[in-house]
Amino acid sequence: MVLMAALTASLSRADALSDDVTAKRARLVAKLGRDTLFIAHSAPSRVYSLDVNYEYHQDSNLYYLTGIAQEETILVLMPGNTTRREILFMRDRDASREHWDGTLLSPEEATARSGVTTVLRASQFDDFIAAMLTGRRFGPIDEGEARAFFTALANGNARVSLLLSPGRVSDPMTPEQTFARTLRDRYAGFQVTDATPHLVAMRLVKTPYEQTLLVRAAEISAAAQIAGMLAAHPAAYEYEVKAAIEAASRSRGAISWAYPSIVGSGPNTTILHYPDSRRQMQSGDLLLTDAACNYDYMTSDITRTYPVNGHFTVAQKAIYDIVLAAQDEAFKAATAGSSLQQIHDKASNVIRNGLFALGLITDPKSDQYRMWFTHGTSHYIGLDVHDVGANTVKLEPGMAFTIEPGLYIRQSALDTLPRTPENLALIEKIQPAVTKYAGIGIRIEDSILLDTTGPRRLSAAVPRTIPEIEALMQQRTVPSTTAPR
Ligand SMILES: [Mn+2]
C-alpha cells in the first residue's frame, strides 16, 4: 500500500511538471510567430578547481521551458511546423561516461519529463541548424514539415529567436551572443531577435504548479530558519547556526540553498552579504540569518534577526521596531495593481520617520535615510532568487516577491561622507545617535505570494515579532558549559 501510494504520488508529480512545461512552451510558441526558429541552450558547467566542477545548475529559462536539469541540452521551437514544433537535443548516451558521472536521461525519459516528443542527439545539433538555415530537410523535419520557416527564409524574412539578455555588464559576450554572431556569419535570410522579454513576462506570473513548489520551498526554509534560532546561543559559532539551517533544508528534500547562506553576528549583521560565518557569538549580540532553500528549482528568501541570548536590548528593540513597522506597512501595500516600487516607497516612509525620531537623520524628507537603509525593499522570487521583472510592473495574482526592509548602523557610513559643510553639520548632529546604535544591523524578510485574496506571507511560520522571537528562544537547550571548542 505504502509503496504503491508513493509511486502514484511521484508519477503524478512528474505528470504535473510535464504538463506545466508543455503549457509554457505552447504559450511561448503562440508569441513567437510561424516564421521563427527559437533556440535555448542549457547552462555550461563551471570549474571549481582543476577537475572538480561546481554543482551543476541549469539555465533558468531552459528549465522553465523543459524541466530538464541535464547539461548539453538544447530546446528548439519551430512554431510554423505542421506537427513537430518542439525538438529537444540531449547529450549522447555514453556508458563509460555514465559510470563516472551518473546516468543520463534516455530519449524516452526526456520525453516523459518535458513532454517534448521529438528528441535528437546533441551531436546532431550543428548539422540540424545547418540544414534548417539553408532550407534543407533533417531527419524527421522535412520540407513539408518546415515549409513555413523555409518559405520565410527564402523570402529573407525568417527570424531566429534567442535568449540574448545581457549577462553582467562586465561580461564581454554571453555564449548566446557568440552563438548569434556565428549564425549571422554563416547563414543568411533571417534576423536574430531576442526572446528574453517573452520569458520575463511569463516568468513574472507563477503557474499553479510553480506556486505549489514555491509554497513548499518557503515551508522548508521556514523550518530551517527556526532550526537556526534554536541552535544559536552565546559562545556558539556562526557556522553552527549555518549548519543547522542547511541541515534542516537538505533533510527536507531541498536540492541546495537558493543563495549562499548569510549568517552574521554582532558587527557582521551590518554586512549585507556576509560570507564567512567564522565568528564566535557573544551574549548581547544580534544574529542575522538570511537563508533559504532551492526546492526543485524554486527559491524562497527569508531573513530573521534575533538576539543570541534570547533577549533584545533597548537599543536593538528601537531599531527592530522601525524595521518591523516598515515591513508591516509594506505588506499592506502589496496588493494587486500596486508595484514593488510603491511597496518600497511605503516602507521607506516608515524608515525615514523612525530614523528621524531616533536622531539618526536630521531631515526625513531627504535621502539621508539611505545611509542606513542601503538596499531596496522587494525583489521577485522564482527560478532565480532575484527573479526577472521590473519594479514598476503592476502586481497581479501569481506574482511572488520579498518584503525585506533593513537598517545597518555603521560608523563607516559617516566616516566616508565627503567633508562638505552640510555633511559636517549633519555628522555633528547625528554622531551621538550613531555611536549609540553602531554595530546594529537588522533585516526582516518574508517571501510573499500574491494570490486572488491578497498577499500571502509564505514564511509566516518563522517568529517575526519581538515577543514571538523571545518566546521561541526560551525553548532552546543551551549547553551549560561554554568551554572553548
Ligand atoms: Mn532577498
Q: Is residue 35 part of a domain?
A: yes
* Distance from Cα 1 to the centre of ligand 1, integer Å: 42
Model confidence pLDDT, tens digit, residues 389-426: 999 999 999 999 999 999 999 999 999 999 999 999 99
* Distance from Cα 226 to the centre of ligand 1, integer Å: 18
Residue 214: partners with Cβ closer than 8 Å, 6 or more residues away:
206, 298, 300, 381, 382, 400, 447, 449, 458
* Distance from Cα 397 to the centre of ligand 1, integer Å: 20
Q: Is residue 1 part of a domain?
A: no
* Distance from Cα 382 to the centre of ligand 1, integer Å: 12
* Distance from Cα 381 to the centre of ligand 1, integer Å: 8
Q: What is residue 4's predicted lDDT score, i.e. its pLDDT? A: 46
Q: Is residue 9 part of a domain?
A: no
Residue 7 has pLDDT above 80, yes or no: no
Domain boundary among 179, 202, 225: 202
- Do 289 and 241 meet the contact criterion of CB atoms below 8 Å apart? yes
* Distance from Cα 394 to the centre of ligand 1, integer Å: 20
* Distance from Cα 196 to the centre of ligand 1, integer Å: 23
Q: Is residue 209 part of a domain?
A: yes
* Distance from Cα 406 to the centre of ligand 1, integer Å: 11
Q: Is residue 479 part of a domain?
A: no
CA angle 410, 319, 459 (to 5 degrees): 110
* Distance from Cα 480 to the centre of ligand 1, integer Å: 35
* Distance from Cα 87 to the centre of ligand 1, integer Å: 36
Bridge partners of residue 39, in order along the sequence:
76, 162
Q: What is residue 238's predicted lDDT score, i.e. its pLDDT? A: 98
Spatial separation of the C-alpha atoms in residues 269 and 285, rounded to whole Å: 9
* Distance from Cα 404 to the centre of ligand 1, integer Å: 7
Please tell me whether residues 49 and 174 are part of one structural domain: yes
E strand or H helix at 293, and its extent? Answer: strand 293-295
Domain boundary among 161, 186, 202: 202
Report strand pairing: 190-194 vs 158-162: parallel
* Distance from Cα 207 to the centre of ligand 1, integer Å: 21
* Distance from Cα 183 to the centre of ligand 1, integer Å: 38
| Reported pTM | 0.94
Model confidence pLDDT, tens digit, residues 368-378: 999 999 999 99
Please tell me whether residues 226 and 112 are part of one structural domain: no
Please tell me whether residues 277 and 193 are part of one structural domain: no
Q: Is residue 345 part of a domain?
A: yes
Please tell me whether residues 284 and 315 are part of one structural domain: yes
* Distance from Cα 379 to the centre of ligand 1, integer Å: 7
**Measured CA distances, 131 to 80, 140, 419, 469 (Å):** 16, 12, 66, 64
Burial code of 447-482, b = ≥16 C-beta within 10 A, e = fewer?
A: bbbbeeeebbbbbeebbbebeebeebbeeeeeeeee
Q: What is residue 479's predicted lDDT score, i.e. its pLDDT? A: 63
* Distance from Cα 353 to the centre of ligand 1, integer Å: 23
Please tell me whether residues 280 and 427 are part of one structural domain: yes
Residue 107 lies in domain: 15-202
Please tell me whether residues 271 and 402 are part of one structural domain: yes
* Distance from Cα 469 to the centre of ligand 1, integer Å: 20
The total of structural domains in the chain comes to 2
Domain boundary among 202, 223, 251: 202
Q: What is residue 462's predicted lDDT score, i.e. its pLDDT? A: 98
* Distance from Cα 15 to the centre of ligand 1, integer Å: 31
* Distance from Cα 99 to the centre of ligand 1, integer Å: 39
Spatial separation of the C-alpha atoms in residues 244 and 265, rounded to whole Å: 15
Bridge partners of residue 262, in order along the sequence:
290
Confidence of residue 175 (pLDDT cuts 50, 70, 90): confident
Tell me which of 433 and 175 has the higher pLDDT.
433
- Do 308 and 269 meet the contact criterion of CB atoms below 8 Å apart? no
Determine what percent of the chain is predicted with pLDDT higher than 70.
Answer: 95
Model confidence pLDDT, tens digit, residues 316-337: 999 999 999 999 999 999 999 9
Angle between helices 208-231 and 238-250 (to 10 degrees): 140
Q: Is residue 47 part of a domain?
A: yes
Residue 192 has pLDDT above 50, yes or no: yes
Please tell me whether residues 329 and 267 are part of one structural domain: yes
Q: What is residue 165's predicted lDDT score, i.e. its pLDDT? A: 81
Model confidence pLDDT, tens digit, residues 244-294: 999 999 999 999 999 999 999 999 999 999 999 999 999 999 999 999 999
Please tell me whether residues 166 and 218 are part of one structural domain: no
* Distance from Cα 136 to the centre of ligand 1, integer Å: 49
Q: Is residue 2 part of a domain?
A: no
Q: What is the dihedral of CA 413, 417, 419, 424, to 10 degrees?
A: -50
- Do 263 and 239 meet the contact criterion of CB atoms below 8 Å apart? yes
* Distance from Cα 292 to the centre of ligand 1, integer Å: 10
Please tell me whether residues 240 and 123 are part of one structural domain: no
Give the residue carrying C-alpha cell 553639520: 425
What are the grid coordinates assigned to 354, written together?
523612525
Query: Minimal CA–CA distance to 119: which of 134, 133, 131, 104?
Result: 104
E strand or H helix at 448, and its extent? Answer: strand 446-451
Please tell me whether residues 310 and 193 are part of one structural domain: no
Spatial separation of the C-alpha atoms in residues 309 and 290, rounded to whole Å: 19
Please tell me whether residues 57 and 194 are part of one structural domain: yes
**Measured CA distances, 430 to 137, 234, 256, 369, 413 (Å):** 74, 31, 43, 12, 12
Q: What is the CATH number of the domain that holds 71?
A: 3.40.350.10
- Do 396 and 427 meet the contact criterion of CB atoms below 8 Å apart? no
* Distance from Cα 194 to the centre of ligand 1, integer Å: 28
CA angle 244, 245, 248 (to 5 degrees): 85
* Distance from Cα 366 to the centre of ligand 1, integer Å: 25
